[in-house]
Structure 1
Amino acid sequence: MSAHIICVTSGGGLPIFSRKRGNWENLPFSVIGSLNGVHMFGKPFGIEMINTITDDYVVAWKEFVDSVVIIGIASGCSVDILNKLLESVFSSIVLIVGTEEIKTQRNIERLKRELRICYPVVDRLLDSLDCGDSNNKYSSDLAGFVETILCPENHLIQIVLDSFTECVDSMFSCVLISGKIAAATQSWWSLHPDELKLLSLLATSGNTASSKDIPVFLPYKSPTVAFRFVACTLIPEVQLCCLCGPTPLLNDIEHSVMQCFKNSTDILNTAVLCSPKNFPSSYVIDGNVLGLLLINTAIGKYMISKSPQQNASKKSTSSSHRLDILRTFFYRAVLNYLIPLVPCKYTSHPNLTEQNFPKDKLASNDLNIGTETYWCSEYHKCHATKVNENVLCVLYSSSVPTHFMRHITEKTLKQLISDKQVYW
């Protein structure tokens, strides 16, 4: 898969930035101009170019606040997920400069310079499309959801985090482990899923060795008034993030970090070892389970594990393939049948045939909302079950009897969400 994002001004089609991922040559200016021209010249006639689909590519146009047009081109991707990506890219722009700067565009060259800080964030958003980089450590990303990690130490981290939050007089803070949320305040969880994701990406992009102190505009909560976003590295792979006002100063925040977490180094080091399994090693998972994807639809968070077994290798050659199947199953089947409030039809995975449980297992309404769904292929099987706001997708070996998957999935889901110490 490959993807290209282009951002131009609505009025004159002036390029603001473009980013690409995957095996793709840079688009010539003439192609960019043509793509924007199709959208721009139809507008006076009441014609809005929304998307177009070819055998290999999807192209989508989306205008925001009557000021910028973001064009997305991707292979192996659906219109729905590409549109969601365009919205997230715009949110990343708002995060850095706010909506007023986008609307006024007083100085395009300055705007382009200011937006350079969001390039790594946009690149990471493109990774949610899985652009074929098997070495990408963030290839498990799901569009529109923020990733978490279920460490047995999370409850201890939460206690220290709450103490730090009081010291800096901020209600918004979290601790990231390998870029995934381990613990957070209630106010942090109250933010929009896109905001949670963007702040996590901003904290872990670029240089994480030194502290970051960046003004940010929250695209949904505060698109015109900036917060201070501060991120400090506690140990390698662990960042503390908070949103605050003009005070305290960065030096004071760093001092509070040291005072609050000075006795927590061992706890944090142990928590880091939870990756890439991403849930406690003490959990006994059925041997037929090859991968797990746990989603909370109310908050917009997920946990994914490509190596749920005790003896799974961190560098297994099939790990990225397992992630691909789980993501595709979630996009195409789970979002369609279990979470219809986000109706998307996503790209299919080779060798998979889609089936559903009997209709008596589905809710009787026009949306065909179900509580479980599954896929079968020559090499793998996938099963998902939904309990209230939690959905668990499980990747199985093909030898598992289809009727037995339900029992394993339900048992695994109960184990993952019942442990209060991991703060799911």
Structure 2
Amino acid sequence: MGEEGTEGTVHLLCLAASSGVPLFCRSSRGGAPARQQLPFSVIGSLNGVHMFGQNLEVQLSSARTEDTTVVWKSFHDSITLIVLSSEEGTSELRLERLLQMVFGAMVLLVGLEELTNIRNVERLKKELRASYRLIDSFLGDSELIGDLTQCVDCVVPPEGSLLQEALAGFTEAVGTAFGCLVVSGRVVAATESWWRLGTPEAVLLPWLVGSLPPQAARDYPVYLPHGSPTVPHRLLTLTLLPGLELCLLCGPRPPLSQLDPQLLDRWWQPVLDLLRACVPLGPRTLPAGFPLHVDILGLLLLHLELKRCLFTVEPSGDQEPSPEQRRRLLRSFYTLVTATHFPPEPGAPEEKVAALDYLHLKMCSLHDQLSNLPLEGSTGTMGGGSGGGTPPKRGGPTPEQ
């Protein structure tokens, strides 16, 4: 089985569907951003063959050559995304989900209205630059896996219930129901309302925070691709410790100035030691001393009902193969089993795909080991928050708010 991401190049093209005008082109080589661009003639040919098929009522979705896989996908008859990958072991499933994440990122930062009603191509090109950093993180070798599983990457924090209480109290004090703690793009704890966010924003928001350069505080306008694709909301972030950020999703209020140091100290000073213990959980995801068999080199655990996942390739210290190789192997194994052995039937709803993913998890040789992990015991729950379906006390952010 080939290792996904082993050298090779990935090219991502975004075009206006009606005119075929390129909006941007992003590339990566060996998992790192690259400046290599495709010739305009190649871009035109790739888009032309797709449009030719549409005119004949034929949907061209993918093609494969000896060393390259190509996937096309149109969104709202307005945006066409094309991805070409020469990475070894790349599957169509991985590329299809990549395109879904890319379009979600575009909506998150630009809004659906600008993408479906293109009035000024040059202005749209400039606006889309804000999404480049996030999109590039999808093309590279990320430590996260939510782009593939479509579940939120989480960690298992120590004493998660105490962090949950502090988060709930703080969000209530500032007047929003949507809050979470994020370390390296992974959710440490979140409020009930945050967990009720739809896909893909539940995956994209922590990923966005993890992809941004360090900053003490941010007031970031975002759209919710599922919940509010045309009306922006505010994503407020505060750095509690280096690598650990507090995120709030809200409307016009509260202003960033209201989040003063005294309010932060009141709620977070009592749990400062717990916050410090969460910082190293970025790559490991499991707290020190977590009971895990020494022979497990990588772990992928999905809770498909809650749309959360735990992904780590560093549970056993410095052993071969390297963490990068383990990550590629585990991603490739997940993709292989999901796409090859349990392919979705044509026209099957997303629930069927989720059920097939669950069958994959059941057949995994680690099942017996995973069933004994105390993910909901005293150590803390995966990603914090309740696992039940209790409705939130406060409603989600709406255009009226």
TM-score range, shorter chain: 0.7 to 0.9
- Contact (CA 8 Å) 2:168, 2:191: kept in 1 or not? yes
Partner of 2:26: 19
- Map of 1:66-77 to 2, 5 A cutoff? 66-75=77-86, 76-77=89-90
CA distance in 1, matches of 2:344, 2:310: 20
* TM alignment of 1:210-229, pairs within 5 A: 210-229=216-235
Choose which of 124, 133, 136 in structure 2 pairs with 1:123.
136
Structure 2 counterpart of 1:55, from 51, 57, 66: 66
> SS of the counterpart of 1:176?
strand
How far residue 70 of structure 1 moved from its aligned partner, in angstroms, is 0.8
Does 2:322 match 1:318? Answer: yes
Name the CA distance, whole Å, in 2 between partners of 1:412 and 1:300: 17
Paired residues for 1:119-198 under 5 Å:
119-127=132-140, 130=141, 138=143, 142-143=147-148, 144-198=150-204
Is 1:299 aligned with 2:306? yes
Q: What pairs up with 1:316-395 in 2 under 5 angstroms?
A: 318-334=322-338, 384-385=361-362
Aligned residues of 1:146 and 1:193 also touching (Cα < 8 A): no
Structure 2 residue 239 is matched with structure 1 residue 262: no
> Relative to 1, partners in 2 of residues 1:416 and 1:340: Cα closer, same or farther, differing over 3 Å?
farther
2:355 & 2:341 partners in 1: Cα distance? 7
Distance 2:71 2:253 in 1: 42
Distance 1:330 1:321, change over 3 A: same
Counterpart Cα distance in 1 of 2:200 and 2:346: 14
> Which string of whole-angstrom CA distances, capped at 9 and with x for unpartnered residues, describes residues 316-345 of structure 1?
66222222222222221256657969999x
Identity %: 34
CA apart distance, 1:282: 2.8
Answering whether residue 94 of structure 2 is matched by residue 81 of structure 1, we say: yes
Q: 109-118 vs 84-93, which deviates more?
A: 109-118
- For 2:60 and 2:357, the matched residues in 1 are separated by 34
Structure 1, unpaired ranges of 5+ = 131-135, 345-366, 374-383, 387-392, 394-404
Q: Distance in 2 between matches of 1:298 and 1:171?
A: 22
1:277 equivalent in alignment to 2:281:
no
* Matching residue of 2:399: none
Contact 2:144 2:311 in 1 (8 A): no
- The structure carrying a bigger strand percent of its residues is 1
For 1:83 and 1:323, how far apart are their aligned partners in 2? 20
Q: 2: distance between equivalents of 1:119 and 1:343?
A: 32
Contact 1:235 1:265 in 2 (8 A): no
Q: Separation in 1 of the partners of 2:54 and 2:164?
A: 51
Secondary structure of the residue aligned to 1:289 is coil
Task: Provide the C-alpha distance between the structure 1 equivalents of 2:48 and 2:274, rounded to a whole number of angstroms.
Answer: 56
**Residue aligned with 2:212, SS:** coil
Matched to 2:335, the amino acid is Y
State how far apart, in whole Å, the 2-side matches of 1:85 and 1:368 are.
20
Using the alignment, how far apart are the partners of 2:41 and 2:156 within structure 1?
48
Gap regions ≥5 residues in structure 2: 349-353, 383-401
Structure 2 CA distance for partners of 1:262 and 1:113, relative to 1, 3 Å: farther
Q: 1:139 to 1:300 in 2, by over 3 A?
A: closer
Given the superposition, is the C-alpha separation of residues 37 and 415 from structure 1 closer, same or farther in structure 2, using an over 3 Å criterion? same
Cα distance, 1:147 vs. partner? 0.9
Deviation by residue 1:143-191 (Cα, 9 ceiling, x = unmatched): 1232111121322221111011102211111101222101001111112
- By relative contact order (CA 8 Å, sep 6+), the higher-ranking structure is 2
Please give the alpha-carbon distance, in whole angstroms, between the structure 1 residues aligned to 2:70 and 2:308.
28
Whether 1:35 aligns to 2:12 is no
Q: Name 2:237's counterpart in structure 1.
A: 231
**Cα 1:202–1:286 shift into 2, 3 Å:** closer
The offset of 1:210, in angstroms, is 3.0
Give, in whole Å, the separation in 2 of the partners of 1:421 and 1:188. Answer: 22
Q: How much has 1:18 moved relative to structure 2?
A: 1.4
**Aligned-CA RMSD value:** 2.9
Selected match of 1:410 from 361, 368, 375: 368
Paired residues in the alignment total 362
Task: Choose 225-234 or 139-148, whichever is displaced more.
Answer: 139-148
